[in-house]
């Protein structure tokens, strides 16, 4: 996964922002190797990316409290900087408060884009970055602490989040890195239900764990997890994208009026019928889904899950 291609991979539209900035939102996902960030600056509608890149261009800096101690630690804490109009991302290591950081080699990648996003149809600045977890001394299942600074000439702003970022690391945002699920889904090829094929040869089904699964003509398949997915390739290699998703809001209390409840039950039955049609009326797939519903789920929880599975089945 590279910056620029994961934006088209729908991952960003499936997740919620983990952090809000003065002029936009931050989305974070990770796999076992990298931290991926989308900084969607809906409030920067001026494309300052002239060539060659100058200090007037839009720019971003990420600050990492690598040792998670809330202090600016010399030789340890890091910065990544990029300016629109340049493909280059710079990594620098802190030399302590008040001293200019030292440049360091990096395998981080970044791309500056300008266009609409699910959060604003008006064209705006978007930064996509991938940072190797090894450079951050981090790993899946652990935490990273980071701060953001974004610049724009048009409209003019210089946002630091937290505001005193340059001399105080105690208020940085903390993000928990998801642990990719074990590659347990491997080895099931051919054992599952039939599913439905569309004209492109894609088969949509629900596997024995009750998860939406998309099987492609080339023999690869994608299993959609609660947030993110696992791709399994024909030779069995697996690649998992997980996200640090915010919790869904609690559903409203159940209605007391029997008519309202009946209407919601009808909605659930309709959703199940849609799901059944999407998997080619495969009763085994539908049953696998139903087995994954909790016995104590409310009608709202069922609506939420069924809608999610339908969206996942339709995600390609």
Please identify, using beta-carbon distances, which residue of 5 and 67 lies nearer to Ca ion.
67
CB count within 10 Å of CB 295 equals: 4
Please identify, using beta-carbon distances, which residue of 46 and 186 lies nearer to Ca ion.
46
Among 2, 54, 69, 260, binds Ca ion (CB under 5 A): 69
Please identify, using beta-carbon distances, which residue of 77 and 213 lies nearer to Ca ion.
77
CB count within 10 Å of CB 1 equals: 16
User: By rule CB under 5 A, what string of x and - marks binding of each residue 144-163 to Ca ion?
Assistant: --------x-x---------
* Whether 316 contacts 202, CB under 8 Å: yes
**Which phi-psi region, left, alpha or beta, contains residue 131 (left: φ > 0; alpha: ψ -120 to 50)?**
beta
Please identify, using beta-carbon distances, which residue of 85 and 192 lies nearer to Ca ion.
85
- Which tokens belong to 191? 């054992």
Among 31, 40, 48, 161, binds Ca ion (CB under 5 A): 48
- Which tokens belong to 62? 């990420």
Please identify, using beta-carbon distances, which residue of 76 and 292 lies nearer to Ca ion.
76
Residue 73 lies near Ca ion (rule: CB under 5 A): yes
Buried b (16+ CB within 10 A) or exposed e, 9-44: eebbebbebbbebebbbbbbbbbebbbbbbbbbbbb
H/E element, 91? strand 89-93
Please identify, using beta-carbon distances, which residue of 71 and 315 lies nearer to Ca ion.
71
Task: Mark the segment that binds Ca ion (CB under 5 A) among 32-40, 43-51, 220-228, 270-278.
Answer: 43-51
Among 31, 40, 58, 213, binds Ca ion (CB under 5 A): 58
Residue 207 lies near Ca ion (rule: CB under 5 A): no
Task: Mark the segment that binds Ca ion (CB under 5 A) among 31-39, 47-55, 160-168, 299-307.
Answer: 47-55
Question: How far apart are CB 38 and Ca ion at their closest, in Å?
Answer: 17
* Whether 179 contacts 262, CB under 8 Å: no
Closest to 81 (Cα-Cα) out of 143, 17, 129: 129
Question: How far apart are CB 67 and Ca ion at their closest, in Å?
Answer: 5
Please identify, using beta-carbon distances, which residue of 73 and 242 lies nearer to Ca ion.
73
H/E element, 129? strand 120-132
- Residue numbers 75-114 binding Ca ion by CB under 5 A: 77
Please identify, using beta-carbon distances, which residue of 6 and 151 lies nearer to Ca ion.
151
What residues contact 83, with CB distance under 8 A and at least 6 apart? Answer: 53, 55, 57, 58, 59, 112
Closest to 309 (Cα-Cα) out of 274, 284, 281, 280: 274
Size of the site for Ca ion (CB under 5 A): 12
Residue 57 lies near Ca ion (rule: CB under 5 A): no
Please identify, using beta-carbon distances, which residue of 53 and 313 lies nearer to Ca ion.
53
Please give the DSSP secondary-structure letter assigned to residue 159: E
User: By rule CB under 5 A, what string of x and - marks binding of each residue 260-299 to Ca ion?
Assistant: ----------------------------------------
Q: Is 12 helix (H, G, I), strand (E, B) or coil?
A: helix
Question: How far apart are CB 57 and Ca ion at their closest, in Å?
Answer: 8
Question: How far apart are CB 171 and Ca ion at their closest, in Å?
Answer: 13
* Whether 108 contacts 146, CB under 8 Å: no
Among 3, 39, 40, 44, binds Ca ion (CB under 5 A): 44
Cis check for the bond before 155: say yes or no (omega within 30 of 0): yes
* Whether 286 contacts 295, CB under 8 Å: no
- The residues that touch Ca ion, with contacts defined as CB under 5 A, are 44, 46, 48, 58, 65, 67, 69, 71, 73, 77, 152, 154
């Amino acid at each position: 996964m590279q910056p620029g291609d994961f934006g088209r991979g729908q991952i960003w539209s499936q997740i919620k922002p983990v952090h809000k900035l003065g002029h936009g939102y931050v989305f974070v996902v990770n796999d076992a190797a990298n931290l991926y960030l989308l900084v969607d600056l809906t409030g920067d509608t001026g494309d300052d990316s002239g060539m060659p890149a100058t200090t007037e261009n839009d720019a971003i800096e990420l600050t990492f409290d690598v040792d998670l101690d809330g202090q600016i630690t010399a030789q340890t804490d890091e910065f990544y900087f990029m300016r629109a109009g340049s493909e280059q991302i710079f990594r620098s290591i802190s030399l302590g408060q008040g001293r200019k950081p030292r440049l360091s080699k990096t395998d981080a990648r970044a791309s500056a884009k300008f266009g609409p996003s699910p959060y604003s149809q008006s064209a705006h600045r978007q930064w996509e970055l991938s940072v190797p977890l090894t450079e951050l001394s981090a790993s899946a299942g652990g935490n990273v602490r980071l701060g953001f600074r974004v610049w724009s000439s048009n409209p003019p702003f210089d946002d630091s989040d937290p505001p005193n970022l340059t001399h105080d690391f105690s208020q940085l945002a903390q993000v928990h890195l998801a642990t990719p699920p074990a590659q347990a889904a491997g080895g099931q090829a051919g054992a599952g239900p039939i599913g439905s094929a569309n004209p492109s040869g894609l088969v949509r089904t629900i596997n024995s764990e009750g998860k939406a699964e998309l099987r492609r003509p080339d023999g690869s398949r994608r299993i959609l997890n609660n947030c993110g997915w696992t791709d399994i390739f024909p030779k069995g290699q697996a690649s998992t994208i997980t996200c640090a998703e915010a919790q869904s809001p609690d559903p409203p209390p159940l209605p007391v009026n029997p008519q309202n409840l009946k209407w919601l039950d009808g909605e659930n039955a309709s959703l199940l019928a849609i799901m059944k049609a999407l998997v080619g009326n495969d009763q085994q797939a539908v049953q696998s889904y139903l087995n994954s519903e909790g016995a104590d789920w409310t009608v709202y929880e069922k609506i939420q899950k069924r809608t999610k599975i339908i969206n996942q089945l339709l995600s390609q």
